[in-house]
Structure 1
Amino acid sequence: MKKILIIQTAFLGDVVLATALVEKLHACYPGAQLDFLLRKGNESLLKGHPLLSQVLIWDKQQGKYKSLLQLLGQIRSQKYDLVVNVQRFGATGLLTALSGATTTVGFDKNPFSRFFTRRYPHDIASGTHEVERNHLLIQAVTDAVAAAPKLYPSEADFAKVQPLKAEPFICMAPTSVWFTKQYPLEQWVQLLDSLDNKYKVYLLGSPADKEHCNTIIAQSINTRVANLCGQLNLLQSAALMRDAVLNYVNDSGPMHLASALNAPTCAIYCSTVPGFGFGPLADFARIVERPEPLYCRPCGLHGYKACPEGHFKCAREIRNEQLLEVLALAGQRPQSG
């Protein structure tokens, strides 16, 4: 195979996990042209990626179908040998079916999958990790062993955050798109207030997260906290996370950034569960969740804007000591600095 396209137009974390396909396909076909299609807003994740030839962008703001037609023209002109569609929605299924590629593969949940060369089940209930589920799409042309996701911050990205690494530090990403996947603000404050003063703490997020993190800092007595929301791009954030003593994250995008840089991770699960298959993959990764089962958990695959039951016990009954225990373990590891 000389030309391969991978399609994943979902959220940031989904794109990060799909980079495992890039790693595996490159290992098996080192001379092939590898391209990646994602939606506008996520392209910075793959900036300067050394294994990719082109990053195609679906810009829905230009007009969903206008942009789709432009992409179809681009894709057909490339005459791909293989199109791998990780996305399960119709628009990308149509692109795949009409791509003109020699071989097309995707999940059977895609409404256009009947027109693919091969289609495979996407089974959330099995507990299989998403990286393994995605690998199923290319197993027939590679082998049975999935690769790990990987991102490539540039030398400039690492240089940007190097001054922040002068002393032992912890990163926290307190927010999520979904309220019920987000550890409560007052519990982040409690965690900050109980940390050893030897740690500098960096709060990470987008510009939209800045106010939330400012509120956390204002309510905390910890004077060693800096709000970096909006100051670092995604790859710079990942470059910083790589050398943290520990990264506290929700079940959200920053958790997958940590996985892609093999950064030490404490993943806090509120309304969702690791069994969905989107857990952390770093060598040092621990999951913290409510110790006892809860009748309403999980309440959904992605979460909600508010707790459907009104009590949010899945988050509120996580104990601060659970988080500190993970830090104690992480602190025993040799630090790369």
Structure 2
Amino acid sequence: MKILIIQQKMIGDVLTSSILFEALRAQYPQAVLHYLIYRHTLPVVENNPFIDKFIIYEEDYKKPTHLLPFLKEIRGEKYDVVIDVYSKLGTALISAVSGAPITISYKKWYTRFSYTHPLPRKSKATTNAGLAIEHRLDLLKPLLKKFPAEVKPKIYLTDSEIKNAKNTLINSEISPEKPLIMISVLGSSADKTYPAEYLAQLLDQIVTETNANLLFNYIPSQREAAEHTFQLCNPETQLNIHLGIFGKSLREFMALTSQCDALIGNEGGAVNMAKAMDIPTFAIFSPVVSREDWSLFENETGNSSVHLRDHSPHLFESLSKKELKERSAEYYQLFRPNLIKDQLSGFLRAIKSGRD
């Protein structure tokens, strides 16, 4: 059996969808399993032992002159099954053109005719895995006779990557006697980034309660924004922030995070990567993101999250995602640190207890 899984989306989605390969491999050990993704998301699934081949969807494929040869390549693979996790018009076309006798995706009015098995989504999670995990596993219902009790996303770092991360911390004289916490200081966009002045107050709280060393997750182009948050912190907090230590690539970031006691900050790909390495996380959700979908594996490995909806559910009544996005800045201003500090304190106590 030859199976293609399509996930042309962001890092967290690509990592989460990788659970399908482990589940399929358990029941179809001889199957050939391919993963169609964007190039920039490849690092989170590199070295995954359950994936036989990565097919990279390049930006040029959006042009008809490049798309047609790509579609011909897909058809030439002669897949038995195509599972379209992304479920958009473009991937519906890939699924239809593939010629696979079994095509599976989510049921949508504008794409359902492209699939032999268009499956409905459910509205509520039935386990603490979260809807994002459960929805993906549901796509395997036409194929699996028995479902795994639990499948979690995993990141596969090399020994060399882990060794280099450890050496970076040693050479920077980061004390192993103190907790080390990675801070997801920025979200993937402005409407997914907790206000810097509020985050700085939470960083002050973290250092006051734990005396932890803090690393910031950012890329060089975000240095100015990271420094802005740093400047908003108390001088005592600044002494514990090591701005010069950061992952210069996604793999370096993951390796550094693997050496941390926790990751705290904006919900997004960094949180999902930390969870995939069993690093406890405390996630601050954007008002525009569904906590029901992405609060994965909470209350099991120390993972916790907060959402403005917890405190002011009336603000979200009858609002579309578009309307929420338009109000994200306004809603973030309402999500003051005093609404988060108690839950954060509980999380920090658990981190300290885990080190004792």
What TM-score do you get using the length of structure 1 for normalisation?
0.88
Which has the larger displacement, 168-177 or 237-246? 237-246
Supply the RMSD in Å over aligned alpha carbons.
2.7
Give the equivalent residue in structure 2 for 1:249. Answer: 265
**1:162, distance to aligned residue in structure 2 (A):** 1.3
Higher helix share: 2
- C-alpha separation in 2, matches of 1:22 and 1:75: 19
- 1:102 matches 2:105: no
Tell me the alpha carbon deviations over residues 214-257 of structure 1, each in whole angstroms, 9 at most, x when there is no partner. 11112222211123686332233223323422210322111111
Separation in structure 2 between the aligned mates of residue 110 and residue 209 of structure 1, nearest angstrom: 40
> Whole-Å Cα distance in 1 between the matches of residues 259 and 320 of structure 2?
33
SS of aligned partner of 1:205: coil
Match of 2:284 in 1: 268
Show the counterpart of 1:170. 181
Q: Deviations over 1:137-187 (max 9, x none)?
A: 112322234521122122232122113275230011121123333221112
Q: Look up the SS of the partner of 1:276 in the other structure.
A: helix
2:304 maps to which residue? 286
Other structure's SS at 2:223 match = helix
Aligned identity (percent) is 23
State the partner residue of 2:240. Answer: 224
Give the corresponding residue for 1:13. 12
The 1:211/1:329 distance shift into structure 2, 3 A limit, reads same
1:108-257 correspondence to structure 2 within 5 Å? 108-109=107-108, 111-123=110-122, 125-127=123-125, 129-142=131-144, 143-145=146-148, 147-163=151-167, 164=169, 167=176, 168-194=179-205, 195-196=207-208, 198-220=211-233, 221=235, 222=237, 223-227=239-243, 231-257=247-273
Separation in 2, partners of 1:267, 1:293: 18
Shift of 1:86: 0.3
Give the Cα–Cα distance (whole angstroms) in 1 for the partners of residues 280 and 73 of structure 2. 40
CA deviations over 1:98-124 (Å, ceiling 9, x no partner): 10223111111273331312110134x
In 1, Cα distance between equivalents of 2:117 and 2:283: 35
Contact 2:3–2:82 (8 Å) recurs in 1: yes
1: CA distance between counterparts of 2:331 and 2:342? 21
Q: Following the alignment from structure 1 to structure 2, what is the Cα–Cα distance between the partners of residues 66 and 229?
A: 43
Structure 1 CA distance, aligned partners of 2:255 and 2:321?
29
Q: What one-letter code is carried by the residue in structure 2 that aligns with 1:183?
A: Y
CA pair 302-329 structure 1, distance change in 2 beyond 3 A: farther
| Alignment check: 8 A CA contact 2:84 2:95 kept | yes
CA offsets 1:189-223 (integer angstroms, 9 cap, x no match): 11222314642110112333322111111222221
Amino acid of the structure 2 residue aligned with 1:332: S
Give the equivalent residue in structure 2 for 1:46.
Answer: 45
- Tell me the TM-score normalized by structure 2: 0.84
Q: Quote the residue 1:83 is aligned against.
A: 82
**Alpha-carbon distance, 1:313 to partner:** 4.3
* Distance (whole Å) between structure 2 residues aligned to residue 49 and residue 230 of structure 1: 24
User: Does residue 321 of structure 2 align to residue 322 of structure 1?
Assistant: no
Q: Secondary structure at the match of 2:163?
A: helix
Cα gap change, 1:307/1:160 in structure 2, threshold over 3 Å: closer, same or farther?
A: farther
Find the aligned partners of 2:104 and 2:269 in 1 and give their Cα distance.
26
Listed as ranges, the gaps of 5+ residues in structure 2 are: none
Give unmatched runs, 5+ long, in structure 1.
none
The number of residue pairs the alignment matches comes to: 333
Equivalences for residues 1-40 of structure 1 within 5 A: 1=1, 3-40=2-39
Report the residue type matching 1:108 in the other structure: K
C-alpha spacing 1:302/1:314, structure 2 compared with 1 (3 Å): farther
Distance 1:64 1:113, change over 3 A: farther
- Structure 1 CA distance for aligned equivalents of residues 323 and 221 of structure 2: 19
